[in-house]
Structure 1
């Protein structure tokens, strides 16, 4: 069924510009002085960030800081009011939709479908941009590997609508992985997951970065960001409060100010990664 749908949507891949291999550290997406206004309110105010091949960039900050808006702008799902957004060196508005889909894969906060598709069919939707190209033959392997990585293979035949919230989140991530785009944009991928699967998702992020992809992930858990991100961008009130390696950026002073909650930051006794804990009592 999915194959028939995608076949009609993308009958031919002839003339399609396919993604090229990226050099380590190459900028695959960036914003420059990005301003976004929603409902007359400035949600992002002059934010400049870059996602580089081989790195995990975590976007952190309190509720309403602009993290999801920034991710949506990088994905070209939300237009900039001022400033510039580029993917693979080209302004996002200049990318044809299908060629953009070959270069960036997006995981939104909520995953919902109106029809009772089976889990495997949902994951296979990620392969739609490759229909009619020389890489179409990779579909089965890409779907299988994505399902194995996210541990959803055992319920491949179940309807997506019958899954728990955490199971749906993992299936949605599998769809993104099956797309095999070099830029992954993930909005709170761990929000509905238990401890084991939170760690699984962040390990997948690290693996994709090690394979040469650029990964941008919105996180609320500062411990996960510190443990798995190469760089963190701390947002506050729609502006960039700090950006750099977690060990440099995550200080008690900065985080206490940004979150308006006293916190302490300690080095992990084994890894040295920052451990962030609220001041209690």
Structure 2
């Protein structure tokens, strides 16, 4: 099945990116949802070649920040740039060539086969010089997410975890250089949580900027190059996990005693709640 984009002249693909290029950034960002200010003066930048994890308690503004960086939510004030240009200056199709978004849940009203769902990620490339890469892009995305074995099954017949992996495959098939993933591990078992975060690291090694919302601080510590800790709509820390994950800060942010210590074999950061014996 081939999905066609908008009619008209062929669209030029995005310019190449270099390691360290800022592909999404917010400056003094304020976002309101109704009468509530959800983000209050947040500064953040996502760079090519890194995994950036957004962490914090429920209601901290993680998903809202991701939506603003995707240009899906408007800023009340402040600036959001995608690939160096104000987000509102891109058309919807231009954005789709530059950033791919994985929402918290994936629903479809029609019984599309899994491969057809993944192929939807290729729609922005129709009419560009790279539209002939559809088949290899879809195959590579399904191989990376372990979804090729049920390519012909209806999406509606999948388990929650299988749907989550198919949705990630669609995002990967889009081959945008900026990936914005909202809780991609929430519905997954241990094995597939690790698979998804390894894919994030692989995309960063390939030069993409990956922004991922995570609740599991252990996964963030293990796989993120950098973390932004949000609390009540503000960024209270930004840096490598080993630098910003401290007992005092995490205990304060989560209102739960937390212990941070090095792994006995690798030295990597481990995070554990303090429990009564």
Q: Which sits farther off after the overlay, 50-59 or 269-278?
A: 269-278
1:168 aligns with 2:127: no
Of 226, 231, 234 in structure 1, the residue corresponding to residue 226 of structure 2 is 231
> 1:31·1:49 contact (CA, 8 Å) conserved in 2?
yes
Of 149, 155, 169 in structure 2, the residue corresponding to residue 154 of structure 1 is 149
Of 108, 111, 114 in structure 2, the residue corresponding to residue 119 of structure 1 is 114
Partners of 1:191 and 1:13 lie apart in 2 by 41
Please name the residue that 2:172 is paired with: 177
Give TM-score, length-normalised by structure 1: 0.97
Partners of 1:13 and 1:221 lie apart in 2 by 45
1:95 aligns with 2:90: yes
Partners of 1:102 and 1:13 lie apart in 2 by 16
Partners of 2:265 and 2:84 lie apart in 1 by 39
Give TM-score, length-normalised by structure 2: 0.98
> 2:13·2:130 contact (CA, 8 Å) conserved in 1?
no
Please name the residue that 1:79 is paired with: 74
- Structure 1: state its 5+ residue gaps: none
1:130 aligns with 2:107: no
> 1:53·1:214 contact (CA, 8 Å) conserved in 2?
yes
Please name the residue that 1:241 is paired with: 236
Shift in Å, 1:13? 5.1
Shift in Å, 1:271? 2.5
> 1:12·1:133 contact (CA, 8 Å) conserved in 2?
no
Partners of 1:269 and 1:140 lie apart in 2 by 45
> 2:118·2:173 contact (CA, 8 Å) conserved in 1?
yes
> 2:50·2:210 contact (CA, 8 Å) conserved in 1?
yes
Deviations 1:107-131 (A, max 9, x none): 0000000110000000000000000
Aligned length: 276
**Aligned-pair Cα RMSD in Å:** 0.9
1:250 aligns with 2:245: yes
Please name the residue that 2:270 is paired with: 275
> 1:51·1:215 contact (CA, 8 Å) conserved in 2?
yes
Shift in Å, 1:12? 4.5
